[in-house]
Chain A
Amino acid sequence: MNIPKLVLKNITRRKGRFIFTLLGITIGIASFVTLLSLGGGLKKEIKKQATELGANLVVTPKGWCAYEQISVLTGEQLPEAIPFDVVKKISAIKGLTAVPYLTERTAIKNSPVPVIGILPEEMKAFKAWAMEKGSYFETQNEKAVIIGSGIAQQFKLNPMNELTIRGEKFSVKGILKETGGKDDIAMFMPLSVAQRLYGVRDMVSFIAVKVDDIAKVDEYILKIQETANVAVVSDKQLLKSVLSIVGTVSLTLQLIAAVAILAAAFGIINTMMTAIYERKREIGILQAIGAKRSTIFKAFLLESGFYGILGGIIGVASGLVFSSIASPYISQNEFTAFMKGTEVAGSFDLRLVLWSLIFSLFVSLVSGFYPAWRASKLTPVEAISYE
């Protein structure tokens, strides 16, 4: 017989209460882990997308909010608000390359798929795309589509297959090599074809700009703004503002999870206090046969710590499982669309796991501190005389 064994025997005595208290801390930790791992994955993915965009500057219409800036990275549908003339004017500035994006949307077998209108030659050079199968556009107004490798896989498409977009037939001309980013799950067509198909005549959604001399980024921002009435953000600013929004959102969610953990902590306190009242006489017996106050304190602290360890382990495990189940659903949301087709859900962050376990143990020990102190303060005669 030893203290841990005694504690284990005590803790499983009231099975219902044990399970409910455990559930409290488990749910708290699980929601915390889910939100942290989704939030962490989201940030990682945003950074990846920003790199993949390959632009130093993004030209947007004036007055776009952060939501639309996020959509630049996610490849969501955007208003077509910049006249093509502006693209020409910006392209004319020396020392930079500008490529326009017209982001629209279609559906294959009822699943939404981004359709992006591009200037074929310019974009190929800009992105350094390589082909997996088939061939690339040959002219600037060819009526065909190039698809990302993810789309090809998802819908089992091959070159020469036909697709219907807004009632018109398009053949798949080629499939891009996997890029690991949004381009894998998008469909591209020449800008002029897209403009006609979506009836937006001469407009584009935004322009990605790469500058030759990175040190002169600020200079180029001014030059572009002199040329046209547009807003220009650097990739760093874009990333910063997107990350700050995502950060705020996930911080808010984590605070909610923290409240859940706080409620669970009170659940533990409540259970421990009840246990002390129920076992008051037993505490007295233990003292009579030689248990020190410090032993009683340790035993009760160990008991509440047990909730933390077990609740932490189950909570972390179910949080990771839950985040992998939840990620495809929340990827329907533009804010979290990054998750789509990425490996965020499966990402196993050892640091997150360890910290969550430590946090769970810490919460349970803090919760157990007061009840354990109360138990250890009982005098033997007071405890043993308790009926």
Chain B
Amino acid sequence: MNDMIIKTENLVKTYNTSKVKTYALRGVTLEIPRGTFSCITGPSGHGKSTLMHLIGGLDSPTEGRVFIDGLVVTRLSSSELADLRAEKIGFVFQFFNLLQNLTALENVETAMMFSKNRNNHKEKASGLLSLVGLSDKLDAKPSELSGGQQQRVAIARALANDPDILLMDEPTGNLDSESEAEVLGHISELHKKGKTVVIVTHNNEIAKMAEMVFKIRDGRLDLH
């Protein structure tokens, strides 16, 4: 179905460490319609982040397939995967993952560097930072920003190439409640603008905002 922007088929991920085979995912099949707000929840270490990495093409599954917008992600070369991440997916991580030696503006511009569209990076980047309320912090380094501000820079960076999908791993996990509310406000805005938002979280408040919730337990989708 074309409406399913994200689809996984029987995803299995195992890690072989010192002769022991560890299962991170044991066969996850899910479908996420375009423009929806979904949450992946579950206890720590049960495979939530692994699932997000596989959907975002940051890692490859041991078995199974991932489809993004009808494209079989698991068949793509590393270069095609990089293009996919640059154009179609925006990531937001728990620990912000900004480049520390670059300013807020440069962090957003850096993401634009990998897109095929090569015009007006500076203008667009400062526009995105204004969108998340940081127009006065364009030249600030991450170390000069609060956690909430850093996460907003990360959101602006995720939007750099106007992706269809936003994948977020505990985006408010490291924020105080005030910053959390701010960041969630921005995420909600983005959803309203038609982005497909997938958030990995422990946070029940976020789960309540979501249209779809996928619970992961022991590497499986908990359907109950």
Q: Which positions in A face B, CB cutoff 8 Å?
A: 1-3, 6, 9-10, 13, 281-282, 284-295, 379-381, 384
Contact = CB atoms under 8 A, between A and B. Distances in A.
A2 B79 contact: no
A288 B56 contact: yes
A305 to B, nearest CB: 19
Tell me whether chain A's interface is mostly helix, strand or loop, or mixed.
helix
A2 B113 contact: yes
Most chain B CB within 10 A, of A6, A290, A384, is at A290
B121 interface: yes
B78 interface: yes
Contact of B110 (A281, A287, A289, A380): A289
Contacts of A286: 99, 110
17 contacts: A2-B113, A6-B113, A9-B101, A13-B101, A282-B100, A286-B110, A287-B85, A289-B160, A290-B83, A290-B86, A290-B111, A291-B114, A292-B78, A292-B79, A295-B114, A379-B59, A380-B58
Interface in B46-96: 53, 56, 58-59, 78-79, 82-83, 85-87, 91, 93
B126 to A, nearest CB: 13
Contacts of B102: 1, 6, 9
Given A288-B91, A292-B79, A1 B110 contact: yes
Given A281-B97, A289-B160, A384-B93, A1 B113 contact: yes
Given A288-B56, A379-B59, A1 B109 contact: yes
A284 B161 CA distance: 18
Interface size range on B against A: 20 to 34
B87 A290 contact: yes
Contacts of B130: none
Contacts of B91: 288-289
B85 A288 contact: yes
Contact of B78 (A281, A293, A384): A293
A292 B82 contact: yes
B101 A289 contact: no
Interface string B157-183: 100110000000000000000000000
Nearest to A380: B58
B206 to A, nearest CB: 21
A2 B110 CA distance: 7
Contact of B97 (A1, A285, A290): A285
Nearest to A293: B78
Contacts of B100: 282
Given A1-B113, A384-B58, A287 B82 contact: yes
A293 B82 contact: yes
Contacts of B98: 285
A298 B99 CA distance: 18
A198 B78 CA distance: 85
Nearest to A282: B99
A381 to B, nearest CB: 4
B142 to A, nearest CB: 11
